[in-house]
Structure 1
Amino acid sequence: MIDKLIPTNQWLSVILVSGITGTAVMTLCIYVLNHVTKKVMNVTKILGTMITCETTDDGKLSDSKLSVIAGIAAHYAIGIMFAYGYHLLWSAGVGAPGIWNGLLLGFVSGIFAVIFWFTFFAIHPFPPHIELKSYLPTLFITHFVFASATVACYIFFSDKLLT
């Protein structure tokens, strides 16, 4: 059982690269949507502002280096943890990496993200002024992108590892 919880160095590399790739692709989609819609949906900046409690007095996002670094680091760490969770599921025989599983994981991850963000905004002492009715659905949809990219990367590198 412990060998499934603690992956070998090769599997750890697959998990890290898959999580980072999925997070990068998702973040790129969010940046494009942010630019196209002109709505504030920069997940790393929102996350960093909320983690560091640096919402400006007028409810805007922080531009501090600490906030930006915290948001990026937290977002990528969460992406890697999701990839590790996917790996644990597959190692335990629950599903297998593939297109349909990626879509299912995107749905589940998206639901989890919406619940997390809704709760985070509700309990945060001074959250930034973000339009949640557009932000939360965007996060839900982009988690399909995250999971699909993560699964595709995982398949690509695990095939290399297993051959």
Structure 2
Amino acid sequence: MQKLEKAALEAIAGTSMMTLFSYMVSVAAKENFSEPEHLATLIHRLLPQTKKLSKVQGWTAHYLVGLVFAAVYTELWERRKLKPSALNALMLGAVSGAVAVGVWKLTFKMHPSPPWIKYNKYYAQLVPAHIVFALFATLTYRQLKAEE
């Protein structure tokens, strides 16, 4: 299996479980932490179009970002820079979460009409959400390697 195929499957698993985690935290905190919904809002406010199209674009962007993270992880594992272990998944998730917080802060700051959310709460859930992403991406990679 090619690296991109592995990364795509890792991204689907990781992004799906991360999104589920964000939805569960949203319900528990009574806040909206849905990354694809916030992306859709940002897109819709920049490019007035149907909300349905903005939602599709928000979800697409969310999974594409997951693919970028997964591709980086795959490269690290394939080059044997890191082992695909649970401990390394926690580390990758924490680093990815920190990167995501920085990107979201910059995005909200630069956007002419960002959503009205409690930013600090949103940023606080991004790190554990990315740890979930990394754990499931790692589990998927390990399963794919075991099947080779």
What TM-score, normalized by structure 2, do the two folds share?
0.92
**Equivalent position of 1:24 in the other structure:** 16
**Equivalent position of 2:123 in the other structure:** 136
Tell me the number of residue pairs that the alignment of Structure 1 and Structure 2 aligns: 148
For residues 3 and 46 of structure 2, the distance between their equivalents in structure 1, rounded to whole angstroms, comes to 37
**Equivalent position of 1:38 in the other structure:** 30
**Equivalent position of 2:55 in the other structure:** 68
For residues 156 and 101 of structure 1, the distance between their equivalents in structure 2, rounded to whole angstroms, comes to 16
Q: Percent identity?
A: 34
For residues 24 and 93 of structure 2, the distance between their equivalents in structure 1, rounded to whole angstroms, comes to 19
One-letter code of the match for 1:157? L
- Deviation for aligned residue 1:11: 3.4
- Deviation for aligned residue 1:88: 1.2
One-letter code of the match for 2:109? A
- Deviation for aligned residue 1:109: 0.2
1:154 is the counterpart of 2:132: no
For residues 63 and 140 of structure 1, the distance between their equivalents in structure 2, rounded to whole angstroms, comes to 31
One-letter code of the match for 1:135? Y
For residues 66 and 23 of structure 1, the distance between their equivalents in structure 2, rounded to whole angstroms, comes to 20
Question: CA RMSD, aligned part only?
Answer: 1.9
For residues 117 and 64 of structure 1, the distance between their equivalents in structure 2, rounded to whole angstroms, comes to 21
- Deviation for aligned residue 1:100: 1.1
Q: Equivalent of 1:145, from 127, 132, 137?
A: 132
For residues 122 and 38 of structure 1, the distance between their equivalents in structure 2, rounded to whole angstroms, comes to 24
**Equivalent position of 2:43 in the other structure:** 51
**Equivalent position of 1:98 in the other structure:** 85
Q: Any runs of at least 4 consecutive aligned residues in structure 1 with deviations exceeding 3 A, and if so which?
A: none
For residues 122 and 55 of structure 1, the distance between their equivalents in structure 2, rounded to whole angstroms, comes to 18
Higher helix share: 2
Instruction: Give the gaps of 5 or more residues in structure 2.
Output: none
Tell whether the 8 Å contact from 1:55 to 1:127 is kept in structure 2 after alignment.
Answer: no
Measured at CA, do residues 125 and 13 of structure 1 come closer, stay the same or move farther in structure 2, by a change above 3 Å?
A: same
